[in-house]
Amino acid sequence: MVSNKERARRAIDAMTALGFSKKESTPVLRSLLKLFDNSWEPIEDECYRALADAILDSRDRPKEPEHGSHHARMVAPEEDHHQPSTSLIVYGHPRDLDSEIEAPRIKRPRTNSNNFSADHCIDPQLSPPSSVTAQERARQMMDEDFQHAVFLREPKPEPDIDVAQSLHDAQVGIVSHPFNTSSSGAADPLASRPSVQNQTEISGNKGRPVQHCRTRTSSTSFVERTGSMGKQPQNRESLSDHTAVMHNTGTGSADERTQEAPYLHTVVASSTMGDVKMSIECNIDPSKFCMPSLEEVFRMVEDKCLHSYKSLPPNFSVSSLINEICQCVAQLANGSTAEYNVQSDSFDNGRNSQKESMMSGAALMKPIASMNSGGMKYKSVEDSLVLETSENGQEYSTVPQHLALSQVRCTHDVSDISKGEEKVRISVVNEFGSEKCPPSFYYIQRNLVSPKAYDNISAAGIGDEDSCADCFGNCLSAPIPCACARETGGEFAYTPGGLVKTTFLDECFSMNLFPEKHHKFFCKPLERPRNEALPEPSRRHLVRKVIRECWSKCGCNMQCGNRVVQRGIACNLQVFFTQEGKGWGLRTLDELPKGAFVCEYVGELLTNTELREKTSQKACKAGYTYPVDLDADCDSEGVLKDKEALCLDATFYGNVGRFINHRCYDANLVEIPVEVETPHHHYYHLALFTNKKVEAFEELTWDYGIDFDGDKHRGGTFQCLCGSRYCRGRKGRNRGKAAAK
């Protein structure tokens, strides 16, 4: 026979092990003993659970004022003892206990049991036991309580879920089932699963504690139906006593399920530890079953998607889609809608790893990674992607892809049009019209390079002499500027603060605005075979000022001050609908200083011939092409024939640069060619920098350099609505005269 003293010591020891001090446990133990008529069993049961609960409750309970500590707490008149209560409250301050005793308040879980309706508020002083002894009542209380999870003392019913359904479906997130808790002991693991009344294990993350629960009404941290078949009944008997959370999103009719679509359920289960498990159940004939590799499955799904939708974004993959689903689960589960469109690494489809490999690759222009998309292959070329000829040897053609794209409905994410491709979120707003978002296009952060364009730029090559392999850290802090500054006259174009130096900037601006004042020349006349169509007449070109950034062959790091454009967009931008009728535009949300990098103009890098082929297609005749010539250095030794010259077209693939509207003369952006991967001027990045201080919310504009009177811009000219007093594109006006003076 164990003495009371020993029992008390054990109880206190058990509480100490749980982290409760002796000082805290002792009075609560005393109080409980009193409540249970000095019966130890209800206290010792379940490893002193009642005691632990009571201590926790005593912590929750506000301290009684000193003067009342010896008296029973008066229950307020509105607290009707005999009303069925949602929680069972025990207030006890036995008069004969010393003042340090704090009465435990044991909250009970909600229950529908009528047996307890009269006893839900028990005070040894105010509600003396009736026909049941205190011990019996305590037992009842414990029995009732133990049907609920230890740490889930006030489970709240799911508000909008049908009760019967929720009893059936909604359980505490359960990830695994201990197969030894069932009495059946059957060999079949499914048969041996515990019934709902049995204890079920919820596995936490590796090494994390395991919780136990016994009832169906405990809290489910996250459960949401993801399909339209929200209330579809469980259609497999074995699942009805399956204690995991189940949310059936099976689609199609039962017939479809058994004949064509073996898909039965999507199961989403969560544990209170925050783990979420999703699984898909299929009903497959076991006689024909041979487990395929996940890779095979993904590939097949991707092919099927491609077949159905005709076109997929270049970075589409099923595994990324799954990652994206997980992120959405996590975000919705946390209720963090504000974070809804935070850059998603999971959906970058290996872009980051691809970027890493691009940066680490030594050979210039060597394709490193490839992805399947729409019969074409996209290869990364250092900073860009190359569209490859399809495997059956057919000539590269963008047409089917683009036509398909033009039919795709809008899939833009208005909280971030880049869908996480950029480091910053770029929202879309329309304060003036009904169009919610811009027409479809694929957001790309880097140029896509066509195979022909690739041939042209790869011919350029690059030598070590064009990089600074001996540098380290930040080239801008070196005492003597390195080889990468050669292009800009032995001086870096950037300030240590990451802005383009004013003198350099002003010169670029002036060159773009008043080319006549600068060196301008015509390309050599083109030689062409007799049977070939006439090429476009050669146009005058300007030798532009170019910035050369350090790159992966250089010894410096990514934080080097001579790497600005390659680090991507850093300012807060927004795509918005313009009031003046220019369609969508781009604005800055922050004030920007003069010389700040805003964004690149990103698109498909094509030869002029490819562009012409493309623009002859119907879809492009509508006039929404956005080609920009890359003609910064037409006169250099490796002069390209005009048809081989390169341009960037952002009609179908582009970044935010495609939203920048034109403004005559006094635009606030200036384009500067920036070389990163190659010193050859045929291919460079078209970077846009502020040429003056720009106020927050000001529209960002760029002078396209359109000669509204002369040559027709390839996408077709438009009536200029820039609003500039120097506007040269308005019909029936003395355009641009002011500026020309």
| Radius of gyration for the chain, computed over Cα atoms and rounded to the nearest angstrom | 36
3-state secondary structure of 500: strand
User: Taking the complex as a whole, how short is the minimal distance between the CB of residue 721 and ligand SAM, in angstroms?
Assistant: 4
Among the listed ranges 386-394, 450-458, 491-499, 719-727, the one in contact with ligand SAM (CB under 6 A) is 719-727
Angle between helices 608-615 and 399-407 (to 10 degrees): 50
Which 351-380 residues touch ligand SAM, going by CB under 6 A?
A: none
Q: Of 77, 625, 150, which is closest to residue 405 (Cα–Cα)? A: 625
Other beta carbons less than 10 A from residue 252's beta carbon? 13
| Closer CB to ligand SAM, 454 or 653, in the complex | 653
Q: How many CB atoms lie within 10 A of CB 270?
A: 23
Binding region for ligand SAM (CB under 6 A) out of 111-119, 253-261, 358-366, 713-721: 713-721
Query: 22-34: buried (b, 16+ CB within 10 Å) or exposed (e) per residue?
Result: eebbbbbbbbbbb
Inter-residue contact 260 to 220 (CB < 8 Å): no
Quote the CA–CA distance of 147 and 136 in Å, as a whole number: 17
Task: Tell me whether residue 679 or residue 736 sits nearer to ligand SAM (CB atom).
Answer: 736
Shortest Cβ 671–ligand SAM spacing (Å): 12
Picking from 111, 112, 105, the residue whose alpha carbon sits closest to that of residue 32 is 105
Nearest distance from residue 715's CB to ligand SAM, in Å?
A: 5
Q: Which is nearer to ligand SAM, 145 or 671 (CB)?
A: 671
Shortest distance in whole angstroms from residue 603 CB to ligand SAM: 10
Q: Which residues make beta-bridge pairs with 285?
A: none
| Buried residues in 477-507 as b, exposed as e (16+ CB within 10 A) | ebeebbbbbebbeeebbbeeebbbeeebbee
Interatomic CA distance for residues 40 and 16, integer angstroms: 18
Report the residue count for the chain: 741
For residue 668, the minimal CB distance to ligand SAM (Å) is 13
Choice from 40, 146, 263, 718 touching ligand SAM (CB under 6 A): 718
CB-nearer residue toward ligand SAM: 349 or 655: 655
Q: Which of residues 419-478 bind ligand SAM (CB under 6 A)?
A: 438
Our CB check for ligand SAM shows the closer of 201 and 422 to be 422
Site for ligand SAM in 661-680 (CB under 6 A): 661-662
**How far apart, in whole angstroms, are the C-alpha atoms of residue 533 and residue 643?**
11
Q: Interface with ligand SAM includes 583 (CB under 6 A)?
A: yes
CB of 251 to ligand SAM, least distance (A): 37
721 binds ligand SAM (CB under 6 A): yes
Of these, 582, 614, 728, 735, which contacts ligand SAM (CB under 6 A)?
582
Nearest to 448 by CA among 508, 528, 377: 377
Q: CB of 344: closest distance to ligand SAM in angstroms?
A: 25
Near ligand SAM in 645-664, by CB under 6 A: 658-659, 661-662
CA distance 451 to 397: 10
Q: Which residue is nearest to ligand SAM (CB)?
A: 583
**Closest of 281, 205, 276 to residue 238, by C-alpha:** 281
Contacts of 627 by beta carbon, 8 Å cutoff, 6+ apart: 603, 606, 611, 615, 647, 648, 649, 651, 714, 715
Comparing CB distances to ligand SAM, the nearer of 454 and 626 is: 626
> Shortest distance, CB of residue 275 to ligand SAM, whole angstroms?
44
Among 171, 203, 720, 726, binds ligand SAM (CB under 6 A): 720
Q: Choose one: 51-59, 192-200, 499-507, 717-725; the region binding ligand SAM (CB under 6 A).
A: 717-725
Between 576 and 684, name the residue whose CB sits nearer to ligand SAM. Answer: 576
At a CB cut-off of 8 Å and minimum separation 6, what does 46 contact?
142, 146
| Cβ nearer to ligand SAM, comparing 314 with 657 | 657
Tell me how far, at minimum, the Cβ of 717 lies from ligand SAM, in Å. 8
HSE-CB for 226 with a 13 A CA cutoff: 20
**φ, ψ (nearest 5 deg) of residue 384:** -135, 175
Helices 41-60 and 134-145: angle between axes, nearest 10 degrees: 70
Please, is 418 exposed, middle or buried when counting C-beta atoms within 10 Å of its C-beta (0-12, 13-18, 19+)? buried
Q: Which is nearer to ligand SAM, 659 or 726 (CB)?
A: 659
Nearest approach, Cβ of residue 353 and ligand SAM (Å) = 32
CB of 585 to ligand SAM, least distance (A): 6
- How many residues at the interface with ligand SAM, by CB under 6 A? 15
CB of 402 to ligand SAM, least distance (A): 16
- Contact letters for ligand SAM, residues 595-634 (x by CB under 6 A): -------------------------------x--------
CB of 340 to ligand SAM, least distance (A): 25
- Least distance CB 631 / ligand SAM (angstroms): 18
> For residue 121, what are the CA distances in angstroms to 89, 129, 531?
5, 11, 100
Q: How many CB atoms lie within 10 A of CB 608?
A: 22
- Give the DSSP per-residue string, 84-128: --SS-EE----TTS-TT-------------GGGGGGSEE-TTTS-
Nearer to ligand SAM, 111 or 655 (CB): 655
Q: Tally the C-alpha atoms within 13 A of residue 131's C-alpha that lie toward its C-beta.
A: 2
Of 364 and 586, which CB lies nearer to ligand SAM in the complex structure? 586
Task: Please say which residue, 657 or 673, places its beta carbon nearer to ligand SAM.
Answer: 657
Residue closer to ligand SAM, measured from CB, 382 or 416? 416
Closer residue to ligand SAM in complex, CB, 274/583: 583
Q: Of 584, 652, 653, 683, which one interacts with ligand SAM (CB under 6 A)?
A: 584
Give the residues lining the site for ligand SAM (CB under 6 A).
438, 582-585, 626, 658-659, 661-662, 715, 718, 720-722
